[in-house]
Structure 1
Amino acid sequence: MSMAGKLNVAFLWHMHQPDYRDPGTGQPLMPWVRLHGLKGYTDMLEAVRRFPEIRVTFNFAPVLVKQLVALTLEGQTDHYWDLTAKPGEELEIGERKHILRHFFSANWETMVLKYPRYRDLLHRRGRDVSEAELERAAGRFSDQDLRDLQVWFNLAWFGWAAEERHPQIREWKRKGRNFSEEDKLAVLQMQKEVLSRILPDYRAAWEQEAIEISASPFYHPILPLLVDSGAARICQPRDDMPDKPFMRPDDAREQLRRAMEYTKKHLGRAPEGLWPSEGSVSPKAAEFAGEAGFRWMATDEAVLMATLGRGKREEVIYQGYRTSPSGPDIVFRDRYLSDAIGFRYARNTAKQAVDDLLGHLQNIASHKAHPENHVAAVILDGENAWEYFSDGGRLFFEELYGRLSKHPRLRTATVGSYLKAHPPETVLPPLFPASWIRCSFRIWIGDPIKNVAWNRLRECGEMIDEYLKKPQKREAALRAREWLLVAEGSDWFWWYGEPNNSSFDAEFDQLFRLNLMQAYKELGVPVPPTLEHPIDVSEMPEEVPLFPMEPIIDGKETTFYEWVGARVIKASDLSGAMTFTTRLFDRVCYGLSPSHFFLRLDPSEHLRDRQELTLVIRFIGEGQPRVEMGNLEAPEHLEAVWIRGETRHPLKAAAIGRIIELAVPFDQLPRELNEIHFAVLLKRGDFEIERWPRLGTYACPWPTPEYLTRNWVI
């Protein structure tokens, strides 16, 4: 069938993990390469293979490929593997506490709570992971309990493709408990078997032209900041920057050169495409990419708009461009479609999600006289999003790829094949230096803690440069430079300072400093005292107690003080391994009085079209208790209803104006362990478009006399 008239849809799924190796031992300290290999990397390729008509691009950061090679060809094991393999009765108290703290590191809703035994073990441990509580929890866990936890942590990470290919995985899940040491070792052996197929299968699919593989700079650095960190001043003119600029253009070239060579060595051919780490571009970065042999690159639509400084988004983003007369071509991702897959669709049925995605794509096609000349680039993280889907995304991909395979107006294409068929003619002005996240580099530089990390990186680089000038020290200096290149990776800076945090912040800080310390050790010089201690000594913030309050429910901030006693969650607090670029609320506030639960929502500038929207406050409890608010576009006709089971009545204490406010009597709310648990959902029809928090619930204390006495203020 002729493809004429069909809009090209170019999916690019990006895979990367930082270098988790301890420089002293060579062993990875964290398990994420292995665990994502069992799930995302295996599932994603299998989804494509089931639909021969589908063509997509997979981007592999070479540092990820390097770690997969070590796991599958060199017999390397990570620290968590070793803790799993050790018999439960031989575990020391520190190891038991480590397992109790970290072996629930999975999406609780989709990967823990659905399995009765894993859920029971989580409840036995509890949510408090302070040292004192872990000490007590270790005493509550028998050797058999710990063995079951060792097995379940590894079992839960198998994706749907591995489970379908190996029925024994389902048998272990059915067994559920009382696993033997033999069972545990068999699970680990099964992991080896699944992991061993990843690189050969991707290589074969590329050879068969079913997929294209592109690459990122080797250790996944923010390339423009390696060239000259002063580039950040263009997109972040008001932010403070490191003491001196970081300028290592030769390191940027080296990261690109190695990416090209290593991908060719282990995946069969040199890549033509480059997904610059985090979509980070600049004129020099594009120039260096072209020099290294890359023919195309990609980033976010906001970078194009900032580069052009004019034009309507819909008229300019669905085509390729040239970065310079002799530089690589470039395409720009559709932010809405990319974010919708990564952040919205997991809470909807596969059909609802694909209806929405294909509806937008068809609308794009309908507005083009010759859609076959255009491309909608959908580019996002290919490994983290699927943990949020209850089935790991299997039904979503079956629906998506199945319908695209026979769609009359849409066809899939790799980025490279589209650009070869439609060579760009328009040469862009110099690229606006920025990343795909909010058209800046703020996630990696400009925060006080991040800036300190850049200072430490620059100081180490300056030391290495001095030793490179000495012929007798050159070999040691080159070894030191390797650790500097590792430390240039983006992930260390992602987790420093604001806005991102995780339960592994200390480990990321440790690895960053260990890499720099190893560089000094290679040179035989003392390690600076500044690297002996954590760069960011702050802990994850504890929840601030709620103080009794009595706000006026009128849809406006009547006085500055009426919400002072509330707990506040800002959009910038919603951090993690993935970043949502557009939020419809700026913040959520909640609080209490002796008799009422209060909630406040501050709409963002993006919540303009309120037609057919319903706001749902869902509480956890019997009868699915919830508040539903409709007619959000007409505050004077706001419909707010309290629903629980068959009970349904108007909620009088609700208002919408500049902000949204409501109050619910505690005697109507479900009580669980002296708390209420709730989530905020924004829906259009049955389609969920935003949720706070993204997973799980917020907890509000029940106003017991003891709590009110302890937290009362005057």
Structure 2
Amino acid sequence: MPDKIKLKLVLCWHMHQPEYRDLQTGEFKLPWTYLHVIKDYVDMVAHLEAVPNAKAVVNFAPILLEQIEEYARQVNGYLHDRISITDPLLAALVDPSIPADPEERMKLVKACMRANRDRQINRYPSFQRLIEMADWLEHHYDSLNYVNSQFISDILAWYHLIWMGETLKLTDSRVKRLLEKGSGYTLHDRIEIVEVIAEQLTGVICRYKALARKGQLELSVSPYAHPIMPLLLDLNSAHEAMPEALLPELDSYPGGADRVAWHLEKGVQTFKRLFGFKPKGCWPSEGGVSDQTLKILGDFGFDWTASGGSVLANSLHLPENTKQAGIHHPFKLAKTDIACFFRDDGLSDLIGFEYSKWHADDAVGDLIHHLENIADHERGDKVVSIIMDGENAWEYYPDNGYHFLSALYQRLASHSGIELTTFSECLQNKVEVKPLAKMVAGSWVYGTFSTWIGDTDKNRGWDMLGDAKRTFDKVISADSLTDKQVQQAELQLAVCEGSDWFWWFGDYNPGEAVSNFEKQFRLNLANLYRLLGEEAPAYLAMTFTQGSGAPAMGGAMRPGVELPSG
């Protein structure tokens, strides 16, 4: 009896943070890049290092890579030459003087409360007590005058310790000792924490590069600042999956095709500089694809791209595509030169939203059961694509997903009927690539662009961006800027075009997150006008969106298929 064909499985983890710096001052406005490095990026690479016969695809947004590089430079500069750090929270960790001003103290205290209560805070009784005190202080503001420096020192130390990856907590003797200490943290202790952080920031990119060289990992890239390419190319593409959606007053984004080319070129340049080779694949920001986007990606030289399963489902409903079926295959759109893989939304969303509530062994067993069913009931050479946010799910799991990810890689790598592989290997091994006559434009979230456009506040953001782009075009065409000024303005514009600002606009999101991202978006636009030598519109001084919602997982992740309400 001939051997049964193994089910090909691609685990693709997308690592992405937007530009958190004020590019004019260099200050990091939010700490999420370095916190996700020490918690999620080091854990993910450590899990792969621990199972050498496992394989995966890891996608990096170039603007994230640049921030990791800048953090590493700054933290090492502090440790070696006492050069100041431009992230206020990280700088406070090594500041010998705790601020005396109550408002400054409260700012630090509130920054150290941004963590998962059940999995990160309540896991450690010593830190839980500090947070309970912080909760009380929020409602008894005058009492801050009586809070001593040790409280601030301890909450800063603990906050950074709880954000350490589980693999660090298990293997680094300094982290173990500091966790056991529990209280009374000194400046020496806090500097020791920064030394651990510096090592992770300095080494993390090299660790991924080493696994790619061994062939255990495929590294891929997104457009530079993570814009939604189909919307830059044609705002009306949103109507393909949402015919009734209200769009911005902006008819079309000016020069969108040139901007997409800029983001792709700059993204690949950044990737090549840090990893030493050109990537074969591109995860388009948020899996955002359209006919035009796929053509551009193919013309750019990429072998593969990927999107959400709902995009394929929408496309297969078109009469032009009626002869095709099945999500577990790559497809090639007519008149393009690129294979497009599609996310199994059901399996991916189980990892993202459900398995965190399960025992790790049961969760992995359930996933493998689903995969075995696919292998048994679908004919031919199949590729199951599990494509996931690589950083935001794990804080909802016990111990940062350590037990789940360990079991996942070990059991999949040793499974007799499942082959862990990469998208490029699938194409090299000549898996069947099915034809697709036409594609319905959409993203990995619900198969639409509703997360970024179609809502009043999101549309307002697009109109503000359109105003800035028209001013940019006017100034550039006047040829009044130096080459350096043009480059600075192009970079600032790219940051404004990122997807994350639009993601968070809307009252269904949490208030603090909406406020943080809305402020940064307005700051980014104001900085662009300043670089162009133009006066910023008065509306950039005013808040235009607020949040009051409580979405699943804090809103940082969304499922591929819209979940029923209630």
**1:151 maps to which of 152, 157, 162:** 157
Structure 1 counterpart of 2:555: 576
1:492 Cα offset (Å)? 0.5
What is the CA-CA distance between 1:312 and the residue it aligns to? 9.9
From 340, 352, 361, the equivalent of 2:362 is: 352
Distance 2:220 2:382 in 1: 21
Asked if residue 43 in structure 1 is aligned to residue 53 in structure 2, the reply is no
Kindly indicate whether residue 15 of structure 2 is the aligned counterpart of residue 15 of structure 1: yes
Q: Structure 1 CA distance, aligned partners of 2:141 and 2:96?
A: 19
Q: 1:273 to 1:472 in 2, by over 3 A?
A: same
Output aligned runs, 1:191-206, within 5 Å. Answer: 191-206=197-212
Where does structure 2 lack aligned partners over 5 or more consecutive residues?
78-84
Structure 1 position 426, deviation (Å): 2.6
Aligned amino acid, residue 330 of structure 1: C
CA distance in 2, matches of 1:483, 1:216: 18
The answer to whether 1:117 aligns with 2:126 is yes
- In the alignment, which residue of structure 2 is the partner of 1:531? 540
Q: Report what 1:703 is aligned to.
A: none
Deviation at 1:410, TM superposition (A): 0.7
Partner residue in 2 for 1:509:
518
Instruction: Report the equivalent of 2:352.
Output: 342
Residues 36 and 391 in structure 2, CA contact (< 8 A), matched pair in contact too: yes
Q: Aligned-residue CA RMSD in angstroms?
A: 2.2
CA contact (8 A) 2:316 2:325 kept: no
> What fraction of aligned residue pairs are identical, expressed as a percent?
31
Write the letter of the residue equivalent to 2:557.
Answer: M
**Separation in 1, partners of 2:361, 2:322:** 31
Aligned to 2:530: 521
Query: SS of 1:318's equivalent?
Result: coil
SS of residue paired to 1:469: helix
Q: Which amino acid aligns with 1:389?
A: Y
- 1:118-517 aligned at under 5 Å gives the runs 118-126=127-135, 129=138, 133=139, 135-139=141-145, 141-247=147-253, 248-309=256-317, 315-370=325-380, 373-473=381-481, 475=483, 476-517=485-526
Query: As a proportion of its length, which structure holds more helix?
Result: 2
* Higher relative contact order (CA closer than 8 Å, sequence separation 6+): 2
Matches of 2:250 and 2:96, distance apart in 1: 51
Q: C-alpha distance in 1, partners of 2:417/2:311?
A: 28
Between the aligned partners of 1:160 and 1:80, the Cα distance in structure 2 is: 22
How many angstroms does 1:23 deviate by?
Answer: 2.7
Tell me if structure 1 keeps the 8 A contact 2:137–2:144: no
Query: What secondary structure sits across from 2:155 in the alignment?
Result: helix
Partner SS for 1:393 = helix
SS of corresponding position for 1:269? coil
Q: Could you say which structure has the larger radius of gyration?
A: 1
Tell me how far apart the structure 2 counterparts of residues 351 and 574 of structure 1 sit (CA, whole Å). 22
1:406-459 deviations in Å (ceiling 9; x for gaps) = 211111001111122125443212221111111111111111111111001001
Q: TM-score, normalised by structure 1?
A: 0.74
What is the SS of the residue equivalent to 1:503? helix
Query: Relative to structure 1, is the Cα distance of residues 422 and 140 closer, same or farther in structure 2, using a 3 angstrom cutoff?
Result: farther
Does structure 2 conserve the Cα–Cα contact (< 8 Å) formed by 1:97 and 1:134? no
Distance apart, 1:140 and its partner CA: 5.1
The question of whether the paired residues in 2 share the 8 Å contact of 1:517 and 1:527 is answered with: yes
1:78 paired residue among 61, 76, 87: 87
Which residue of structure 1 lines up, in the alignment, with residue 60 of structure 2? 60
For 2:501 and 2:440, the matched residues in 1 are separated by 24
User: Structure 2: how far apart are the matches of 1:584 and 1:222?
Assistant: 23
Secondary structure of the corresponding residue to residue 380 of structure 1: strand
* Partners of 1:333 and 1:377 within 8 A in 2: yes
SS of 1:433's partner is coil
Distance 1:286 1:180, change over 3 A: same
Which deviates more, 377-386 or 508-517? 508-517
Instruction: State how far apart, in whole Å, the 2-side matches of 1:57 and 1:186 are.
Output: 33
Residue 82 of structure 2 is matched in structure 1 by: none
Secondary structure at 1:391 match in 2? helix
Letter in 1 for 2:179: K
Q: Does the Cα contact within 8 Å between 1:443 and 1:498 map onto a contact in 2?
A: no
Instruction: Give, in angstroms, the shift of residue 163 of structure 1.
Output: 2.1
* Preserved contact between residue 61 and residue 226 of structure 2 (Cα < 8 Å): yes
Alpha-carbon contact 1:301-1:317 (below 8 Å) kept? yes
Measured in 2, the distance between the counterparts of 1:239 and 1:584 equals: 19
Hey, what's the Cα distance between the residues in 2 that align with 1:406 and 1:497? 45
How has the CA–CA distance of structure 1 residues 407 and 574 changed in structure 2, closer, same or farther, with 3 Å as cutoff? Answer: closer
Paired amino acid for 1:38: I
Asked if the contact 2:69/2:201 (under 8 Å) is kept, the reply is no
CA distance in 1, matches of 2:435, 2:67: 38
CA distance in 2, matches of 1:377, 1:58: 13
Q: Secondary structure at the match of 1:493?
A: helix
User: Compared with structure 1, are the counterparts of its residues 574 and 14 closer, same or farther at alpha carbon in structure 2 (3 Å cutoff)?
Assistant: closer
Report how many residues are paired: 551
Q: TM-score, normalised by structure 2?
A: 0.93
**AA in 2 matched with 1:357:** L
Aligned equivalents of 2:146, 2:228: Cα separation in 1: 46
State the Cα deviation string for residues 37-71 of structure 1 (Å, max 9, x = none): 00110000111111111110001000100101111
Judging changes above 3 Å, is the alpha-carbon distance between structure 1 residues 108 and 405 closer, same or farther for their aligned structure 2 residues? same
How much has 1:224 moved relative to structure 2?
A: 0.5
Helix, strand or coil: the match of 1:535?
A: coil
Contact 1:274-1:297 at 8 Å conserved across structures: yes
Q: Deviations over 1:446-503 (max 9, x none)?
A: 1111111100100110111112212333634443232111011011011111432352
> Gaps spanning 5+ residues in structure 1: where?
542-568, 588-714
